Amino acid sequence: MTKARRSFWIDGLVRQNAKVALGGNVTVRKADVREAQEIVLAPVIEKGHKMSFGHGLDNFMKRGLFKRPLIKGDIVIVPGIVLLGGAVPFAVIRTKPEGMVRIIDETEVTVREEPFYEIDGLTSDELYRAFVDRLADRLSDILDEFGVRIDGIEGQVGEKARSLARRVRDLLRDLQ
């Protein structure tokens, strides 16, 4: 059997969960994914900060992560959950059964309000900063990808686009 080599683009969060560096090589194979009976998630936020969730978040999270493969230690983003315009990362802190699971209708999803502070030896502050760094990398990639298109825009709209790109680049430099 011949091994096919292909290049795929994966975002920073997927690379973080897979523990792969940018430009690294990975081997892709079929995973043994079992149906989750229970999954516990917690927000990844800086130490000293707190979050309060409204009623029904567990079901919202369940719908947002439905059938998605998860394993303890993964950091996930659920579409529609934002704080001050930014995505809120959540850590998978426990699954039942252990190992790779996917959420189904019968899965009990629990979201803890207490922030997540450590997984695989990393504190939540380190995970939060890693998430911000990866987000900054992704935004930088997007700016590079669309830079040519922005430069080609003429007039007032073009100047606004270039100004926005400069501001985002400055913000990314400050984050790093």
Host domain of residue 44: 31-118
Cβ neighbours of residue 123 closer than 8 Å, sequence gap 6 or more: 47, 117
Write b or e for each residue in 134-151: b if 16 or more Cβ atoms lie within 10 A of its Cβ, otherwise e. Answer: bbbbebeeebeeeeeeee
Residue 122 structure tokens: 């990393």
Domain shared by 44 and 98, yes or no: yes
Average pLDDT across the chain, whole number: 76
Domain shared by 154 and 87, yes or no: no
Domain shared by 47 and 67, yes or no: yes
Domain shared by 47 and 102, yes or no: yes
Q: Among residues 118, 141, 160, which one ends one of the domains?
A: 118
Alpha-carbon distances of 94 from 59, 68, 100, 148, rounded to whole Å: 17, 15, 11, 44
Domain shared by 56 and 78, yes or no: yes
Alpha-carbon distances of 102 from 16, 41, 64, 92, rounded to whole Å: 19, 13, 12, 12
Considering the domain boundaries, does residue 14 fall inside one? no
Q: Express each pLDDT in 49-101 by its tens digit.
A: 667 777 878 888 899 899 989 988 888 888 877 776 677 888 898 899 999 99
Domain shared by 135 and 100, yes or no: no
Give residue 56's pLDDT.
78
Q: Express each pLDDT in 106-154 by its tens digit.
A: 999 988 877 776 555 566 566 666 666 667 666 666 766 666 666 667 7
Considering the domain boundaries, does residue 110 fall inside one? yes
Q: Express each pLDDT in 22-54 by its tens digit.
A: 777 777 788 889 999 999 998 887 666 667 777
**Whether the Cβ atoms of residue 54 and residue 83 lie closer than 8 Å to each other:** no
pLDDT for 14 beyond 80: no
Considering the domain boundaries, does residue 169 fall inside one? yes
